[in-house]
Chain A
Amino acid sequence: EDQVTQSPEALRLQEGESSSLNCSYTVSGLRGLFWYRQDPGKGPEFLFTLYSAGEEKEKERLKATLTKKESFLHITAPKPEDSATYLCAVHPNTGNQFYFGTGTSLTVIP
């Protein structure tokens, strides 16, 4: 069964304190892994797509990496405006569905 697990569920950081969010997945074959940011009361906003192990993508203070079993979203020197819920999703090789994790709620304290 295709599964996506994110950890931790919640994370509180001081401004400038770097950390990583984890997304572990179990799929028969991976077509793509996606990271989204979701602010309260809004729809998820696309951040990154990763297709193969070893791939990395960066955007401002965020960097996403991928291995054969998990992905990390590294946040370097976060700012309060990085506070949001970060969602991970996988698209298996078979079928047209995407499977989402339950997210990590990040709070960055000034």
Chain B
Amino acid sequence: DAGITQSPRHKVTETGTPVTLRCHQTENHRYMYWYRQDPGHGLRLIHYSYGVKDTDKGEVSDGYSVSRSKTEDFLLTLESATSSQTSVYFCAIGQGAREQYFGPGTRLTVT
């Protein structure tokens, strides 16, 4: 398995609270990605990073921010959680145009 961990693995939070999800890799891959997976939508890209402090938006970035201060860590923050952000969140790592490797996921429920 590629060395990717996500924390927490499960979280229940209330509407309006900030939430931070963490992705940690031990593979020294340049690219890191955050996706959400919802029934009927498949995996959708939220944000990605192509280096330390270098990030860009994906197709569903509204309401999310990210930070990458070290090669190995990529944080996803929900600034003010809403029920529509209830989802399973996956982190992935890669080397650009090549395949991605995914973490185990975080199941987030916003009540």
Interface residues of B in 82-111 (CB under 8 A from A): 90, 92, 96-105
> A97–B56 Cα gap in the complex (Å)?
10
CB under 8 Å from chain B, chain A span 13-59: 31-32, 34, 36, 41-46, 49
From B31, B42, B103, B105, contact of A100 by CB (8 A): B42
Q: Contact partner of A42 among B31, B40, B50, B104, CB < 8 A?
A: B104
A109 to chain B, nearest CB (A): 23
User: Total number of A-B contacts with CB less than 8 angstroms?
Assistant: 51
Nearest A residue to B91 via CB reads A43
Q: How far is the CA of A75 from the CA of B50 in the complex (A)?
A: 35
Q: Are B58 and A97 in contact (CB under 8 A)?
A: yes
- Counting contact residues on chain A (CB < 8 A from B), the size range is 20 to 34
Q: Which residues of B contact A45 (CB under 8 A)?
A: 102
Chain B CB within 8 A of A103 CB? yes
A73 interface contact, C-beta 8 A: no
Chain B residue nearest in CB terms to A45: B102
Which chain A residues lie closer than 8 Å to B56 at the CB level? Answer: 96
**B12: interface (CB < 8 Å):** no
- What is the bound-complex CA distance between A34 and B96, given in angstroms? 13
Beta-carbon contact of A31 and B97 below 8 Å: yes
B43 touches A96 (CB 8 A): no
Contacts of A100 in B (CB 8 A): 35, 42-44
Question: CB distance B99 to A49 under 8 Å?
Answer: yes
Per CB-CB distance, the 3 closest pairs between chain A and chain B, nearest first, are A43-B102, A102-B42, A100-B43
Residues of B within 8 A of A (CB): 31, 33, 35, 40-45, 48, 50, 56, 58-59, 90, 92, 96-105
A-B contact pairs, 27 of them (CB 8 A): A31-B97, A32-B97, A34-B100, A36-B102, A42-B105, A43-B90, A43-B103, A43-B104, A44-B43, A44-B90, A44-B102, A45-B102, A49-B98, A49-B99, A87-B43, A89-B43, A89-B100, A91-B97, A96-B31, A96-B50, A96-B96, A97-B48, A97-B58, A98-B33, A98-B100, A100-B35, A102-B40
